[in-house]
Structure 1
Amino acid sequence: MEGLDVRLGRFHLLHDVSFTIDRGERVGLIGESGSGKSLTSLALLGLLPEDARIGGSVRLAGVGYDLVGARERDLAQVRGRDVAMVFQEPMTALNPTMRVGDQVAEAITIHAGRSSRAGGARTDRAGVRSRTVELLDQVGLPNPADAARAYPHQLSGGQRQRVVLAIALANDPALLVCDEPTTALDVTVQARVLDLIVRGVTARDAAMLFITHDLSVVATVCERVLVMYGGRVVEAGPVEEVFRRPRHRYTQGLLAASDLDTAEPGGRLPTIRGSVPPAGAFPDGCVFRSRCDYATSECAVLPPWTGSDPGHGYACIHPAGQEVAR
C-alpha cells in the first residue's frame, strides 16, 4: 500500500498511508476508534462507499493489477481468494438463514479453479463437503460434521468467530485482514481464537494485518506494529522496539494508558486528554497536536517521517526522550 489517500465528500479521511507486509509477516495496526484503522482495511479490500475518492496504490503479490481503480468484477475475484477478512462481529458476517457448513462451502466453490494457493482441492459436492468439515475441524469446532449442519444462532460467539475464520482461510489467502476479531469474546475464548488465527496464517505462510485497540493482543500475535491517528501512520516498527521505546507522543500516551504494572494500587492510569476529533476536525500540521502536552508552534507544520533504528520510524517534531524547549 503506497500513498493511500481517501476523501468522502468534504472530509479527508486517510492521508498518504503507506506500508508493506511481507509474506508470512504479522503486522498490527493500532489506534483509538476514529483513527482510520478499519477504513484502511476497507480501502485495501475495495469496499469503500461508491462516492469515496481514493488515490494511491494497493498491490497484492500474485495479482497483476493495482486494486485502486480496479473493476468491481476483478475485486470480487480477489476478495476471499488472495485477501480475506475476519470481522469483529460474526453475527453480522454470517448469514442467519444458512447453515454454517453451506456458508463455508460457498466460500470454497465461488473461487473454484481460481485460487492459486488452495492446492487444487476437489470441487465436486463430496469434495467440498469434506473440505468444509476439514476447515471447521482446523479452527477447533467440536464435532465439525455436526457443526456444519447448525445455523449461526445455534453456536456460541466464539464458535461463530471460528466459522468466520474458516471461511476466511478456505482458499488459503496470501493476506488475512483481521478487524478486531476478538473484541466481543471473553478472555479465555479470545486466547484460543488468537492462537487459531496465528496457527492458520503460519501454516499457510500468509501475511496478516491485525487491527485492534488492544496493545496486549498486538504484543502477543504481531511482529511489527503501525500506530495510526487522524488517518495517518504516525509510528511504525518492530513491536518490541516500539513498545519498549516509543518515539511519537501519541504512541507514548497509548502505552502509558495501558501499563497496569506502573499504576499505583487503587490509582488511575494516565489518560490522553481530550478525545479523537470527528472527521474534518483534526488540526493542520501534526494531527495529534490538539491533544499533546508537548506541542509547540512548530507542530503546526506537518512533521517529516524520521527513521531511527532499522525499521523504526515516526512523525513527531518533539519525540519521546527529547527535551522540549518552551
Structure 2
Amino acid sequence: DIEKFRQNIDNNESEIIKLKYSNYLKDKNVIIVGPSSYLNKIEYGDFINSFDVVVRVNTGHYIPSNMEKYIGNKIDVYYSSWPDTNQGNDSGTGKFFPFKKLKNIYKIIPETEGCIENISKEKGCGGLCCFVQSPQFLYIEFLYIWQFIKENWSGDEICDIIQKSMLNVIKGDTTKGCVFFNQETKKCKIHQVRGYSCRLYGITPEEEFKPRYERMKELYKNVPGAVVKEQCNLIKTIGKKQVTIFNTNRWWNELIQIEKKIGIKGEDISDKQGGSYRMPHDHILLFTMPENVLSALAGISLYDNAHDKIMAVSDLMGLIRNHFRGDYEQSKGTEN
C-alpha cells in the first residue's frame, strides 16, 4: 500500500524519488514490481495492471510479451537504483537519471588551472576564497555530492563534516568558509564532484559576475567581518575555449530544469530564505538532522560566548555521533 511504499522510500534514503513522486502517489493504490520474469508461474498480470500506479524497479520494466500474463504490462514509474547507467531496455516510462544529466552539464564546462596550483605556494592565495567564503549549490548538486560522500567517506568523516557544518551555522558573522575545504592540505575534499558555482569561479563572464559582485558588496557593506572578493585572477581555462554569458545562461537554465524534475518548485529555486540554492553546511544539516537538533542549534547560536557555542556543539554532536556513524557504516556494508 501507499504507506509501505513511502516507508520503503525513506528506508533506502531515495530523496529524489520522495521529492518527485510523493504528491503523485497520494491516495493511490501502488504496486512495486521487480525484475522477476515470472512469479511462481501464477498469472498476476491482470492483478498488477489493476493498480492505479505500477512502479517497475531496475530491469523490471523489460517485459517480454510472453510474460505479460505473469507480471502485467502497465508502467507508470520506472526507478533504477543505478542512477548512472541504462539498465535493460530503454522504453521505461517515467525514467529519469538526474545525476547523469548533471554530469553531462559539468563535462561541457571547460576545465581550469591556476588556482589549486597556487594555493599552497608561499606567496600564493592560500585558498582565501574557500576559507572565508562558501559556495552555494542547488539541491540536486548537493544530492550528487552527498552520494559521493556516502560512497567514499567513513562514518567518522561524515560525522566530522556534520560537526563542521554545525559550527558554521552558529557563527555570528559571514566569514564561514566552505566546509569541504581542508585547511591543512589546502585542498577541496570533493573537488571531482564540486558544484556549478565552484566550476565557474574565476572564469565567469565579467558582464555576469560584475552585477552579482556589486549586489553582494551592497548586501554585506555593514556586516562586521564580511569578505566579498572579486574573481580570482589566477584561474584560467585549459585550452582556447572561453566561457561566454550565452554559455552560462544555457548551463544554468539546464540545471534549473533538473532541479524542477526532482520536485523543486520554480519559485523555490533561489538563494532566499527556504530556497533550494544553499550553502553546503545548510544542505548537510537540513538533510541529515531531525527538527529537534536544528532547534537546539538555533538556541546555541544565541549564546554570547564563542567558546560556549563550540562546547555546546561538541556536546550535541557527541550525543548523535555513535548512532549516526553506525547507520552509515551499516549502509555501506561494514561492521560498526
TM-score by length of 2: 0.26
* Structure with bigger RCO (C-alpha 8 Å, 6+ apart): 1
Larger helix proportion of the pair: 2
TM-score by length of 1: 0.27
Larger strand proportion of the pair: 1
